[in-house]
Amino acid sequence: MHTKAPEIGKNSLNEGGAPSVFPGPQGIRYAESDRWSATRRPESESDIMKILVVDDEVNQRTALAGLITRWGYQVRSAANGAEALAELKNFDADVIVTDLNMPVMDGRGLLEEVHRSGSSVQTVVLTGFGNLETALDTVHKLGAFWYVEKPVNAPVLKMIVERAAEKRKLATHTGVLERELASRGMLGDLVGESPAMQELFYLIQQVAPTTATVLITGESGTGKEIVARSIHKTSLRRARPFLAVNCAAMPESLMESELFGHEKGAFTGAVERRPGCFELANGGTLLLDEIGDMPMNTQAKLLRVLEDRRVRRLGSAKEVDLDVRVLASTNRTLSTAISGGTFREDLFFRLNVFEIGLPPLRERGSDVLLITRELLNDLNRKHSCTITDIAPEVAAIFTSYNWPGNIRELRNILERAAILCSSGTIGLGHLPRGFAGQPESSPRDTSASVVLEPGTTVDAAERSLIELTLRHTGGNRTRAAEILGISAKTLFNKLREYGTDK
């Protein structure tokens, strides 16, 4: 026999005139003010947020759907997790409000599938008092927005759904902004307009929302850690920890302790319990930098952690469940390392779910000038400089140079030049001696020094010294005056006297 769902909004105010609070179906508590309040409608249909209600109890599901509809949302419903997943194929929900205990597929199974898909849809879990611990665990491990205890308090649910919808809207806006910036040559701290970088941006945007393990390859100095951080910042884990551990810089004797943690007394010097990097990054992202340098013995233990999603501290009998996204990077060719017996093939396949290869700077064309501008902005802040640009001849050298050290080498060259130049335009004189095949001349070189011969006047020697210093500073008069130990006004007067003040 079909039971008609109880109607909402028929009760009157209580005798004292205050809004009455009364139970709805399955114990939903409705405030009279909430039931009768007018709901502000969005300006257009496209602005209406979409809510999916999932509950196997028909009365509960119908009442929730009706209530949320009155709040101005577009609502659909499903009787279990499997129906919800089918509904999501045609209904781009912003928020899912779901019960935990359901047949066929329960709420946890639903959230696991949503989490695995990388969707930014927000989830609100309905839970009874006895399942509170399970609900909190779901929030922590599967990224649910929050939970609501039964019997449901309508104003509380309304507030949580509103906050969840706002978070989804922000996530969607952020995604659009990131795609727009990528089309303009920027994604996080990555800069570039070359085809190779546009492909890199596309790959990052595709893989970031998922939970897939990513192997980042490229020459030293190409920015592999920056790519890893961009993946994290573009992912659903952006609010969780990001940790990077350099496998090449860590002694083998300490690597297991750093990665997996240890208990007090596990070995000599272990004076206290210490969680490892996997535990510290739980819920977030862990980058294993220079994975190709990890010892074989540690590789075997790492493989077990990746397969079991559990870690055991050294000296402990207890395993800790993990929810960590693992990224790995290397400047080595791992296939060669596998052939040479220094890297496990099974670990390679576990890490190489999605590979991103970084192009060397020499293959990125004019990107070097875009990166130069971004680096100069950073160096200006770091060293309190006011560098405005690089001279055309410097730009020509930068775009034709091979850059064996990639972006790291470019940054070092610019940092030295910024310190020497201090303000204005970086010229050839600010570059290191011999850089990119340039003549090894400087004010300290004999070939570049002021030649004093019998008959040379003081004025001629002074003019020669000033001109040489200006060449060294790339035409930066303020810096030249500082080097010469005179005021900028005195230098200006001298140049006007020589007829070179234009």
Kindly state the DSSP code that residue 223 receives in the 8-state scheme: -
Do 332 and 446 lie in a common domain?
A: no
Neighbour-count burial of 111, counting CB atoms closer than 10 A to its CB (0-12 exposed, 13-18 middle, 19+ buried): buried
Do 54 and 195 lie in a common domain?
A: no
For the stretch 78-94, pLDDT in tens is 999 999 999 999 998 99
Do 346 and 201 lie in a common domain?
A: yes
Give the CA dihedral 443, 447, 450, 452, nearest 10 degrees: 150
Instruction: Look up the CATH number of the domain holding residue 468.
Output: 1.10.10.60
Q: Which of 340, 359, 378 is the last residue of a domain?
A: 359
Do 125 and 211 lie in a common domain?
A: no
Q: Looking at residue 151, what is its pLDDT?
A: 85
What mean pLDDT is predicted for residues 463-468? 82
What are the phi and psi torsion angles at 182 (to 5°)? -60, -40
pTM: 0.59
**Considering the domain boundaries, does residue 2 fall inside one?**
no
**Considering the domain boundaries, does residue 56 fall inside one?**
yes
**Considering the domain boundaries, does residue 246 fall inside one?**
yes
Instruction: Look up the CATH number of the domain holding residue 94.
Output: 3.40.50.2300
Instruction: Look up the CATH number of the domain holding residue 327.
Output: 3.40.50.300
pLDDT category at 146 given cuts 50, 70, 90 is confident
Do 394 and 500 lie in a common domain?
A: no
User: What percentage of the chain reaches a pLDDT higher than 90?
Assistant: 41
Do 328 and 198 lie in a common domain?
A: yes
What mean pLDDT is predicted for residues 332-358? 94
Do 436 and 454 lie in a common domain?
A: no
Do 290 and 215 lie in a common domain?
A: yes
Instruction: Look up the CATH number of the domain holding residue 368.
Output: 1.10.8.60
- Decide: 49 and 169 in contact? Cβ < 8 Å: yes
**Considering the domain boundaries, does residue 294 fall inside one?**
yes
For the stretch 219-241, pLDDT in tens is 999 999 999 999 998 887 888 89
Q: Per the structure block, which two tokens stand in for 151?
A: 């019997």
For the stretch 314-340, pLDDT in tens is 888 888 899 999 999 999 999 999 999
Q: Which of 359, 392, 423 is the last residue of a domain?
A: 359
**Considering the domain boundaries, does residue 348 fall inside one?**
yes
Judge whether residue 6 has pLDDT over 80. no
Strands 261-262, 274-275: parallel, antiparallel or unpaired by DSSP? antiparallel
Q: Which residue has the higher pLDDT, 367 or 444?
A: 367
Do 198 and 292 lie in a common domain?
A: yes
Q: Which of 359, 386, 405 is the last residue of a domain?
A: 359
User: What percentage of the chain reaches a pLDDT higher than 70?
Assistant: 80
Give the C-alpha separation, 244 to 259, whole Å. Answer: 11
Sign of the Cα pseudo-torsion (381, 384, 389, 390, in order): negative
Give the C-alpha separation, 9 to 12, whole Å. Answer: 8
Do 307 and 366 lie in a common domain?
A: no
Do 463 and 353 lie in a common domain?
A: no
Do 94 and 56 lie in a common domain?
A: yes
**Considering the domain boundaries, does residue 1 fall inside one?**
no
For the stretch 108-141, pLDDT in tens is 899 888 877 767 789 999 887 656 676 677 676 7
Q: Give which of 438, 431, 485 is closest to 462, Cα–Cα.
A: 485
What mean pLDDT is predicted for residues 185-200? 77
Average pLDDT value over all residues in the chain:
81
- Decide: 426 and 390 in contact? Cβ < 8 Å: yes
Judge whether residue 307 has pLDDT over 70. yes
**Considering the domain boundaries, does residue 3 fall inside one?**
no
pLDDT category at 182 given cuts 50, 70, 90 is very low
What mean pLDDT is predicted for residues 30-43? 41
The total domain count for the chain is 4
Give the CA dihedral 108, 111, 112, 113, nearest 10 degrees: 130
Range of the domain at 391: 362-440
Q: Looking at residue 25, what is its pLDDT?
A: 44
**Considering the domain boundaries, does residue 4 fall inside one?**
no
Q: Looking at residue 2, what is its pLDDT?
A: 40
For the stretch 447-464, pLDDT in tens is 444 556 666 777 777 888
